[in-house]
A and B are shown apart, each in its own frame.
Chain A
Amino acid sequence: MNLLSKIAAAGALTLIAACSNNDPSALGGAGGAGANGTLVPGSPSDPRSPAYFQQTVGDRVLFAVNQSTLSPQAQTVLQGQADWLLANPDFVATIEGHADEQGTREYNLALGARRANAAREYLISRGVAGNRLTTVSYGKERPIEICSTEECYSKNRRAVTVLTGSTLG
């Protein structure tokens, strides 16, 4: 049940993101950051929204084949995530580790765990409280791209920071 609700939550986030994506100019035209007059709460233009986190800050980092080390670009993205999380202390996050399909199911689960943990450790090193960050690995079970070439694989080797709750306080 827990998972279901999470999936529902994730789905809702995705929907919001998708909808707003369709007409970004309408909403974000005034400039997302701090344009309070046109700001629709929860939209990507709301810097305190999960959608903003997902799209503007960037919710994911990518990895090289079989690796879990963070590239400089990944560190930049994570720095942004850390800043956002520090600015929005009501949110907690689950970091999902994923692998591409080149590898056995078991090994990829463990590899995904490594990747998720690498992201988590980095966020903690930037000041985010460890108890706000959980990890889970999906191994190769949840690809976002389904072609069998490096173009897709590179996007599937990822750690995604998913905001799982707001107003805890």
Chain B
Amino acid sequence: MMKLLTSLFVGLTLLAAPVHAQSGPLRLEIDEGIIEPLPFAVPNFVPDGPAAAQYAQDISRVIVSDLTGTGLFREISADAFISRVSSFDAPVQFPDWKAINAQALVTGAVNVSGKRLTVRFRVWDVFSGQELGNGLQFAGTTDGWRRMAHKVADQVYSRITGEGAYFDSRVAFVSESGPKDQRRKRLAIMDYDGANVQYLTDSAAIVLAPRFSPSGDRLLYTSYETGQPRIYLLDVGRVQRQELPTEAGTMSFSPRFSPDGRSIVYSLSQGGNTDLWKMDLATRQSVRLTNTPAIETAPSYSPDGSQIVFESDRSGSPQLYIMPATGGEATRISFGQGRYGTPVWSPRGDLIAFTKQNKGRFHIGVMRTNGDEERLLTASFLDEGPTWSPNGRVIMFTRETQGASGRSALYSVDISGRNLRPVRTPDGGSDPSWGPLQN
């Protein structure tokens, strides 16, 4: 329709100016392209001295690993390089990079003096010979070299794709070891790529489902420390935790922060019935948000804090619902076959990720906030518990394998459904919670 109108418009234009009709530019429309990883090259960053050599190499590798890990980029290996980059300030020999089809090029330099590490870099669009964005320098301490590499990679990624950054972020998760019937669980935190794992609890009590605060400084999680599942609030910097008070004789679990970080929404089971409650973290006072005989759990706020999406079996099987953040009438949004659970609102606000169970398989999927355009991204024996990358482009989740020797592991997948890949952790892993981009 639009095309026809365009044609008519062109036609009219031609009629109006017949003489120039043929001398205007040739106009074409392209609506089909290709989808493939963008080939890029990261020649080793130039070290300013022996002390910087290893850092330069390591930083370059982490940048490459971040970029290729997105599935959106493909590294051109150094073996293919025609040019060597021996000086950060020397002009880039674009033809050499064009020749090997490097469409993006990242050049950089690393400087180390004492414990201080400085990284400079530039991003180039090889075929136009243009710099993408401006050169940038990061400075910090040498033990923060990985973070600096992630920062650089974030810049490169954002400048080329237009997508928000996410490499310089951390993930809280439950580290799991041992067989299914004697599984030991410890709360842990790591870089998004599985590096720098640190444990926050021991395995004396079952711990479940850590959830990052919006600013990344605190974690909510559920622990059986007292014998009953209870919600704890943990200061990540100090590794200090406190139990959040809920009524005696109840179980509380499945907590999540509000976007302002001042309150939490959670599930409370009382007399076998599970409803949603909200607690003000300053006063520790709770109010009830739902009051039905059905199970209501797995709540997650919209990014603007005005709504909550959750799971309820009020229809007879678990489905997804949205209600005002203050409680009130809920609208069902999932209508497909199967059982839906653990909805999580994307940081961009446009999608809801969820777990779906159907015909003996589990899926991670996304749908619009009105339930439209449901897309399943994965399928396996058991996938569950999606969490969004800070930019809303990637989803991390738990995949458990079948049988007596089954293990759980973390996986990530692009919201296009491509680039499914395992996230390496020292032991098994479950219940990931992706924290915000770090400052």
Contacts and interface: CB of A to CB of B under 8 A. Distances in A.
Given A113-B251, A148-B403, A102 B206 contact: no
A118 B293 CA distance: 13
A101 interface: yes
Contact of B227 (A3, A102, A109, A117): A3
Most buried by B among A103, A113, A145: A113
B32 interface: no
Interface string A110-127: 110111111011000000
A136 B228 contact: yes
Nearest to A6: B227
A148 B274 contact: no
A116 B224 CA distance: 16
Contacts of B209: 105-106
Contacts of B424: none
Contacts of B274: 109-110, 113-114
A142 B251 contact: no
Interface stretch (B10-18, B50-58, B73-81, B377-385): B377-385
Given A4-B204, A114-B295, A147-B404, A106 B181 contact: no
A134 B272 CA distance: 11
Given A2-B226, A144-B181, A104 B269 contact: no
Q: How extensive is the interface on chain A, given as a class?
A: 35 or more
B272 A3 contact: no
B342 A106 contact: yes
Contacts of B381: 148
Interface string B182-209: 0100000000000000000000111011
Contacts of B24: none
Interface string A53-91: 000000000000010100000000000000000000000
Interface of B: 179-181, 183, 204-206, 208-209, 224-229, 249, 251, 253-254, 267, 269, 271-274, 295, 297-298, 311, 313, 317-318, 339, 341-342, 355, 357, 360, 381-382, 384-385, 400, 402-404, 406, 431
6 contacts: A3-B204, A102-B382, A110-B297, A143-B181, A146-B404, A148-B403
